[in-house]
Amino acid sequence: MSCIREQLEELEEKTLSPYAALSKNSEGRDRFEEPDDIRPCYERDRDRIIHCKAFRRLKHKTQVFIAPEGDHYRTRLTHTLEVSQIARTFGKALRLNEDLIEAIALGHDLGHTPFGHSGERVLDALCQEGFSHVEQSVRVVEVLEKGGRGLNLTKEVRDGILNHRTSGHPNTLEGQAVRFADKIAYINHDTDDSIRAGLIKESDIPKEITDVLGHSVKERLNTLIHDVIYNSENKKELSMSREVESAMQTLRQWMFDHIYIGGAAKAEEVKVNRMIRLLFNYYMEHPESMTSEYTTMLDNMLSSIRSDDPMKEKKIILAHERSVCDYIAGMTDDYCIYKFKEYFVPIGWQKY
């Protein structure tokens, strides 16, 4: 009698679209592991992501609003769950591999910094090798989790995580589903949060957008999700109609102009910039102040540099920068503020 995993793999082959990624055809992991007796490989990856520390920290990381006052604004975790929900709707309707979709969706923002894209821009400017939350998300699952061993995920999941941005080109339709879902989710929930915060009104959104997408967040989500599904049925690539995609891009640009860049939601961004810069410089001077898992990984990076390497000094600096970026990027908003206070605010003043 075949094991449960094999039965599930056979069911995938019988029921999924010919363009879906089958678990049994996965390109595998960097380090070989014996297959699970119950879970196909992508389901196993999903479980590893849900149980990792980086995933739990997402609940205390900013989506758009820095330190919002209120319980109902999105965090990086609720954004991740909304992306997963939308992407799985695509997967179910198009008969794609929902386990692969969910694993990619749940892991796509694991490398995000505290304070959202504000924190990302600061680290990108400070680190000579640059910083991208997309690449950092892959680094989290390949290196940083499990004390430097990573989660050893399948190549398809890592490809989807790496290519979830608009400019990405995922190798699977499941990765494409997450790529569309990410954009649809953040544009609409950021609009919803901005309306709740009183920064904009529904009536402020240009008529050229609402006439195509709808006059509420619910209507716009419904339009966008249906459009992707009906334009992607029985095709080798996911897509949207030209009219709807154009309206979505116009809404996205309108949100950049009114909310994302320089709007009231970003009023605290200058403070975030200075705080992260000070912490970065502090840890560059005092790497021993990082937690042991990061100092151990730094020691391992330094020990791999040959003593006769002509680029030794530069590589040492780059290793320190990478380690400090890893540490700060992993912080939650609250922990970042806590460490800033610990290092830079006299204890007697903190109550004020």
Q: Is residue 3 pLDDT above 70, yes or no?
A: yes
Q: Is residue 307 pLDDT above 80, yes or no?
A: yes
Residue 263: predicted pLDDT: 61
Compute the average pLDDT of residues 246-260: 92
Going by C-beta distance under 8 Å and a sequence separation of 6 or more, which residues neighbour residue 81?
A: none
Q: Does residue 110 contact residue 201 with C-beta atoms inside 8 Å?
A: no
Q: Does residue 174 contact residue 96 with C-beta atoms inside 8 Å?
A: yes
What Rg value do the Cα atoms of the chain yield, rounded? 22
The C-alpha atoms of residue 72 and residue 195 are separated, in whole angstroms, by 12
pLDDT tens digit sequence for 64-97? 766 666 677 889 999 999 999 999 999 999 999 9
Question: CB count, 10 Å around CB of 213?
Answer: 25
Residue 267: predicted pLDDT: 65
Compute the average pLDDT of residues 175-188: 97
Q: Is residue 289 pLDDT above 80, yes or no?
A: yes
Residues forming CATH 1.10.3210.10 domain(s) in the chain = 4-266
Give the tokens for residue 325. 């970026």
Could you confirm whether domain 4-266 is CATH 1.10.3210.10? yes
Residue 299: predicted pLDDT: 95
pLDDT tens digit sequence for 154-163? 999 999 999 9
pLDDT-derived band at 224, boundaries 50, 70, 90: very high
Compute the average pLDDT of residues 40-64: 95
Q: Is residue 258 pLDDT above 90, yes or no?
A: no
Residue 269: predicted pLDDT: 84
pTM of the predicted structure, to 2 decimals: 0.94
Give the tokens for residue 137. 């998300």
Compute the average pLDDT of residues 242-251: 97
Question: How many CA atoms lie less than 13 Å away from 120 in the CB half-sphere?
Answer: 16
Going by C-beta distance under 8 Å and a sequence separation of 6 or more, which residues neighbour residue 308?
A: none
Q: Is residue 172 pLDDT above 60, yes or no?
A: yes
Q: Is residue 351 pLDDT above 80, yes or no?
A: no
